[in-house]
């Protein structure tokens, strides 16, 4: 659903009563038709929600471990004869959930009109009830449902007539503009009647002309403009700022663009990937507003007046005949802010060096931005940088994601999600900015579940492949654009008994020659990996093997001093903190004393999201 559509739905359905929810600063439309609106606010102890649903029957809202009914924490309410009712329930199976012995949701108010039922209720974030889901900063699978009839006095709520699930982050730190600039301009960077290919994964590129600017401006807000009906297919969008090249192959505005990285795409369009990211958007994300002291620069000395838009179409049903005009609306102003925004990608290399063994319940992959690389670009910048937002990105097997900083051996968490969902590529704005300075190392960890797979899953562009990325939003902007790392090929192959590989590094890891032992010299890289008899124990042994061996790290950026693109490559061990970040511990007091972690720590629901692409793909 487009931003405009959401705004219209909220305005029309809420009408004059919208003022009643002005204290509820967050809201989402849970269904595609705009019939179920959810408003909420929270503090450090509790959350308060208001459901506004187009029905005069019962309304249900739940928190699920995986998007299904079993194991879900559910609240069902209704209004009958002017009286509002609310019940706290727990689903053991796909059936009417029985009422919970501990009624932890508290009804605050409720009413209905000719078209809608409105219920407001609240709950502690941590109730100490083992049947209640802990509400924290992880992605939540929010169930919604309703029936157009009130519950029967004897049999209770009838089977739902409408239901669905939407991933959301309830405890979010959205940035609302404190004050808008006096002069606001906008420009749409969008596709033009692009035919979406009838295949699962497509990366589509289009070169877009920007408005001519005589002076530097700042982008202060980015809004998605998604073609109605394509919300589930447009997975993410990247916009790269092209450097000056008066001879770059141009295309008229009505040109639909080309599939990225194919012979049809002009070679000089690829130059734009060497520019900085202007905007990043992923499915499930709404508007992106920058803090009031930062903005993304356009119209400055290195602006070529063009941007390259890359859209990832995820079309698993391989539908035909779909046309797209989606993109991003850039709001900008000549009223400059204090700092220029930068976006840094920290990722695992997107190739067969990323191996997710099959039958693994929790398989960890670590990548990092080496401190020597950071030091080089921080030296040039002349000052530390401040991170204010993080966007994690991986694909379907990822269940947890975490971005951390290691300084003097001490690990600090920038962002973490123990319930990651590929269908919610959400930018997490930090409650407090984090300083990155010389000597620091940035780490990203992805945790995958591949227990249903029978073959390894490799890194790659397709949704069926995997990635492990973090986009860091920071200021002031430095020249560094990306960092990536991967286990050294000999580290990977050594697990299967390879003793020596060719000394000359090939362009592709698949082409690495195996030298010793002699009986493996006729095998390819993939032959070796796929000869391993995988199982849960073997997968964990492989993970530990990689973590104790050598890694290759690379980074790149356009240095201001000489204008050249700098590539930095180093071989080293994987960084390990001497003081790991402490896991969050939840405890609660009861009449019998303090409840231990088995009652209060996040349940499996929290350990199962709200990404996007990598610098050259995503």
- CA pair distance 83, 75, nearest whole angstrom: 17
Residue 438 is encoded by which pair of tokens?
Answer: 């010389």
- Cβ–Cβ under 8 Å, residues 30 and 164: yes
| Integer CA distances (angstroms), 302 to 92, 215, 271, 273, 319, in order | 59, 12, 13, 14, 41
> Helix, strand or coil for residue 378?
helix
Rounded to 5 degrees, φ, ψ at 585 are: -120, 125
130-164 burial by CB neighbour count: b if 16+ within 10 A, else e? ebbbbbbbbbbbbbbbbbeebbeeeeebeebebbe
Catalytic residues: 203, 393
| Integer CA distances (angstroms), 109 to 83, 119, 124, 389, in order | 9, 6, 17, 36
Determine the length of the chain: 618
- CA pair distance 537, 545, nearest whole angstrom: 12
Helices (H), strands (E): how many in the chain?
A: 7, 40
Q: Which of 499, 488, 500 is nearest to 572 (CA)?
A: 488
CB contact set of 536 (below 8 Å; sequence gap of 6+): 359, 360, 361, 451
Q: Which of 450, 338, 435, 441 is nearest to 394 (CA)?
A: 450
DSSP string, 204-261: EEEEEEPPP-SS-EEEEEEEEE--TT-TTTEEEEEEEEPPP-TTSPP--TT---EETT
> Is the link from the previous residue into 517 a cis peptide, with omega within 30 of 0?
yes
- CA pair distance 433, 308, nearest whole angstrom: 29
Residue 351 is encoded by which pair of tokens?
Answer: 């190739």
How many Cα atoms are found within 13 Å in the side-chain-facing hemisphere of 207? 20
- Cβ–Cβ under 8 Å, residues 542 and 523: no
- Cβ–Cβ under 8 Å, residues 428 and 505: no
Q: Which residue's structure tokens are 């809004």?
A: 223
Which residues on adjacent β-strands are paired with residue 60? Answer: 76, 145
Residue 234 is encoded by which pair of tokens?
Answer: 């447009």
> Helix, strand or coil for residue 269?
helix
How many other C-beta atoms are found inside a 10 Å radius of the C-beta of residue 291?
21
Rounded to 5 degrees, φ, ψ at 400 are: -140, 145
- CA pair distance 149, 204, nearest whole angstrom: 46
φ/ψ region of 414 (left if φ > 0, alpha if ψ in -120 to 50, else beta) reads: alpha
251-271 burial by CB neighbour count: b if 16+ within 10 A, else e? beeeeebbebeeeebeeebeb
CB contact set of 544 (below 8 Å; sequence gap of 6+): none
């Amino acid at each position: 659903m487009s931003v405009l559509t959401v705004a219209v739905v909220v305005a029309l359905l809420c009408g004059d009563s919208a003022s009643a929810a002005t204290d509820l600063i967050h809201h989402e439309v849970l269904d595609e038709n705009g019939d179920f609106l959810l408003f909420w606010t929270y503090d450090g102890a509790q959350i308060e929600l208001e459901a506004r649903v187009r029905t005069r029957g019962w309304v249900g809202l739940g928190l699920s471990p995986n998007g299904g009914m079993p194991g879900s924490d559910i609240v069902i309410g209704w209004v009958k004869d002017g009286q509002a009712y609310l019940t706290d329930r727990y689903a053991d199976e796909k059936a009417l959930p029985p009422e919970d012995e501990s009624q932890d949701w508290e009804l605050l108010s409720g009413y209905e009109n000719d078209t809608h039922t409105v219920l407001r209720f609240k709950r502690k974030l941590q109730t100490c009830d083992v049947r209640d889901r802990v509400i924290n900063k992880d992605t939540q699978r929010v169930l919604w449902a309703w029936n157009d009839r009130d519950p029967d006095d004897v049999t209770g709520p009838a089977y739902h007539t409408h239901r669905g699930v939407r991933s959301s982050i309830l405890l979010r730190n959205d940035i609302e503009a404190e004050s808008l600039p006096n002069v606001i301009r906008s420009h749409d960077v969008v596709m033009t009647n692009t035919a979406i290919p009838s295949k699962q994964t497509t990366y589509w590129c289009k070169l877009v002309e920007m408005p001519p600017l005589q002076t530097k401006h700042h982008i202060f807000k980015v809004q998605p403009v998604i073609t109605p009906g394509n919300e589930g297919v447009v997975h993410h969008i990247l916009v790269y700022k092209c450097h000056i090249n008066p001879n770059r192959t141009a295309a008229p505005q009505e040109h639909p663009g080309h599939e990225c990285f194919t012979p049809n795409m002009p070679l000089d369009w690829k130059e734009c990937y060497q520019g900085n990211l202007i905007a990043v958007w992923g499915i499930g994300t709404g508007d992106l507003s920058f803090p009031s002291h930062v903005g993304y620069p356009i119209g400055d000395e290195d602006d070529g007046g063009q941007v390259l838009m890359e859209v990832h179409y995820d079309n698993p049903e391989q539908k035909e005949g779909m046309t797209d005009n989606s993109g991003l609306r850039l709001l900008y102003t000549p009223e400059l802010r204090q700092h220029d925004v930068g976006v840094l990608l920290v990722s695992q290399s997107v190739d067969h060096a990323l191996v997710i063994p099959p039958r693994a319940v929790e398989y960890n992959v670590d990548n990092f931005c080496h401190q020597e690389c950071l030091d080089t670009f921080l030296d040039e910048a002349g000052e530390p940088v401040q991170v204010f937002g993080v966007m994690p990105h991986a694909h379907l097997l990822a269940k947890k994601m975490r971005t951390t900083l290691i300084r003097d051996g001490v690990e600090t968490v920038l962002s973490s999600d123990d319930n990651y969902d590929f269908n919610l590529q959400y930018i997490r704005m930090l409650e407090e900015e984090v300083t990155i300075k010389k000597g620091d190392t940035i780490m990203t960890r992805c945790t995958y579940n591949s227990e249903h797979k029978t073959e390894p899953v490799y890194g790659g562009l397709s949704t069926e492949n995997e990635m492990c990325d973090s986009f860091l939003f920071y200021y002031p902007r430095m020249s560094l654009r990306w960092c990536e790392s991967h286990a050294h090929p000999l580290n990977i192959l050594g697990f299967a008994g390879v003793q020596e590989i060719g000394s000359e590094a090939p362009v592709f890891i698949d082409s690495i020659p195996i030298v010793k032992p002699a009986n493996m010299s006729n095998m390819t890289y993939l032959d070796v990996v796929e000869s391993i008899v995988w199982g849960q124990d073997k997968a964990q042994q492989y993970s530990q093997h990689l973590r104790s061996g050598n890694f290759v790290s690379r980074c790149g950026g356009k240095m201001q001093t000489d204008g050249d693109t700098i590539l930095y490559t180093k071989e080293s061990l994987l960084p390990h903190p001497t003081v790991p970040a402490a896991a969050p511990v939840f405890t609660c007091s009861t009449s019998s004393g303090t409840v231990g972690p088995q009652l209060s720590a996040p349940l499996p629901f929290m350990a199962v999201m709200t990404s996007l692409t990598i610098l050259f793909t995503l």
